[in-house]
A and B are shown apart, each in its own frame.
Chain A
Amino acid sequence: MRRFLKTIGARAIVQLQTIGHMFIFLMNALYFIFAPPFKFRLLLRQIRFFGNKSMLVIILTGSFTGMVLALQLFYILRKFGSEALLGSGIALSLLRELGPVLAALMITGRAGSALTAEIGMMRITEQIDALTAMALNPMRYLIVPNIVAALIAFPLLVAIFDLIGIFGGYLVGVKLLGISSGTYFSLMEDYVVMEDIMVGLYKSLSFGLIVSWICCYKGFYTGYGAEGVSKSTTEAVVLCSIMILIWDYFLGSVLLIG
């Protein structure tokens, strides 16, 4: 029993140390965001990295999410004779919840994993050491551009996801299920308020920070060899996915109650 408690205790201490280390890493990165010189060229490259890697998957998942939502919501709303609310239902679901969460999960799988693998490879091939040996701070060159790029790219990709999703819902609702185009959009205009858009924006910004932070951290402190990079990449994707869902709940609660 004592041995068991000792093992649990030791693991808890290691986990707490890791969490502490992750927060120090984040604080360090946040400091360098505001400390010149700024690396705009690297920032643009990383925005392109997030956008380029994730655009196709965002378009695909966005459109099918909107289409499935239209089918399911139409089925439910018809029971209450409220099919006219289909457009606003889809828009609210996407803007407040599904858009930010699903887009963040997709970007994590596509660009986040690539980011961890890339930084991890730089670590094991001594490229990060080479930067340090040149008296250049790897935080400024590798981590900060990725975090800032994610803060810019996530809201944009989420906006594209939402737009494509609403259009996907339109295709199914209007072209397939026969709701009039005017009803689909006019009620959406009535029920969707600025606050709903802002909720999605806050969520996408925070998911951008979470994903870039975790993926950069896992790559920066990767293990040895290809196995180490592979393990870090898997850990980054799993941890990001869990954190996105947990943070979504907490942020959702605060924003709804607030």
Chain B
Amino acid sequence: MIEITDLHKSFDSQKVLNGVNLKIADKEIIIIMGTSGCGKSVLIKHIIGLLKPDQGSIVIDGVDITELDTKELDTIRERLGVLFQGGALFDSLTVYGNIAFPLREKTKLSKQEIRERVIHALEDVGLKGIEKKYPAELSGGMKKRVAFARALISEPAIVLFDEPTTGLDPVITSSIHELIKGTHKKYGYTGVIISHEVPRIFEITDKIAMLYNGVIVESGTPEEIQNSMNPIIRQFITGSHEGPIEY
């Protein structure tokens, strides 16, 4: 269970989060949607503990992570998997090295066991046989899928997806959505997805929250959000340039 309460964050004079309140139940998939630059990535960085809030709390399984020191925070991070916006694959390592990295550094698995898990993870994301390639040799979609495999290799309890399909074509976008759906079914993790792909991504989620002007303006099931009369949500889903959303 992740419980975010009254979260505030400013950068210099710019207020980014202005009292975010959100509850994410175990094993559910939630999509946080919002306009570009509204603070979605800032919110996810708070959940990872990369940023400290000015005010408010983030409680993960009963522990307020905003009050933890680095060492204590690392024990929480060991249960997280993160798919960063650009993949964040290590340039100096091969695909194999990238996926094996968390296992090599954080577990005592043998070389053989690591190899089996990496090969299996690559099969899961449909990229068998590219172990020896470097990230620079991969397309955007392949990078995202390799990063996906790396995020899931430690079988984390919570997986955070920062815009997993931004910049990808519709076919690859669908395949990533299917991957999330399939792996969630297989591993049963709690998924937090930041995405603009509305309403296409609604089919893989249990809950949707809309972040606007630093607050969650509404949250609910995909049906509730699609039928919402909130003008901000209506404008965002329809993609209309007329409405209350300021650009």
Flag the segment in A125-133, A182-190, A194-202 that touches B: A125-133
Given contacts A132-B50, A135-B74, A135-B78, contact A126 B102 (CB under 8 A): no
Q: Is the CB of B50 within 8 A of A130?
A: no
| Interface: A205 (CB within 8 A) | no
Q: Is the CB of A125 within 8 A of B48?
A: no
Task: Give the interface SS of chain B, mostly helix, strand, loop or mixed.
Answer: mixed
Q: Is the CB of B50 within 8 A of A129?
A: yes
Q: Is the CB of A133 within 8 A of B48?
A: yes
CB neighbours of B50 from chain A (8 A)? 129, 132-133
Within the complex, the shortest CB–CB distance from B70 to chain A, in Å, comes to 8
List the 7 closest A-B pairs by CB distance, nearest first.
A135-B74, A130-B88, A135-B77, A126-B88, A133-B82, A126-B84, A135-B78
Q: Which residue of A lies closest to B80 (CB)?
A: A133
Known: A129-B45, A134-B102, A134-B105. 9 other contacts (CB 8 A): A125-B86, A125-B91, A126-B85, A132-B49, A132-B77, A133-B82, A134-B77, A135-B74, A135-B106
- A132-B82 Cα distance, complex, nearest whole Å: 10
| Interface: A136 (CB within 8 A) | yes
Q: Which residue of B lies closest to A131 (CB)?
A: B90
- A81-B209 Cα distance, complex, nearest whole Å: 88
Q: Is the CB of B91 within 8 A of A127?
A: yes
Against A, the Cβ 8 Å flags (1 = close, 0 = not) of B35-78 are 00000000001001110000000000000000000100011011
- A37-B105 Cα distance, complex, nearest whole Å: 10
Which of A126, A132, A133, A134 lies in contact with B86, CB distance below 8 A?
Answer: A126
- A91-B57 Cα distance, complex, nearest whole Å: 65
Q: Is the CB of B105 within 8 A of A130?
A: no
Residues of A within 8 A of B (CB): 121-122, 125-127, 129-130, 132-137
Within the complex, the shortest CB–CB distance from A221 to chain B, in Å, comes to 14
Against A, the Cβ 8 Å flags (1 = close, 0 = not) of B78-109 are 10101011101111000000000110011000
Within the complex, the shortest CB–CB distance from B166 to chain A, in Å, comes to 13
Which of A122, A125, A132, A134 lies in contact with B106, CB distance below 8 A?
Answer: A134
> Would you list 7 pairs from A and B whose C-beta atoms are within 8 A, ordered by A residue?
A122-B90, A125-B88, A126-B88, A127-B89, A129-B84, A133-B77, A135-B75
Among A125, A135, A136, A137, find the residue whose CB has the most chain B CB atoms closer than 10 A: A135
CB neighbours of B102 from chain A (8 A)? 134
Within the complex, the shortest CB–CB distance from B92 to chain A, in Å, comes to 8
- A51-B124 Cα distance, complex, nearest whole Å: 41
Q: Is the CB of A134 within 8 A of B101?
A: yes
CB neighbours of B86 from chain A (8 A)? 125-126
- A121-B105 Cα distance, complex, nearest whole Å: 22
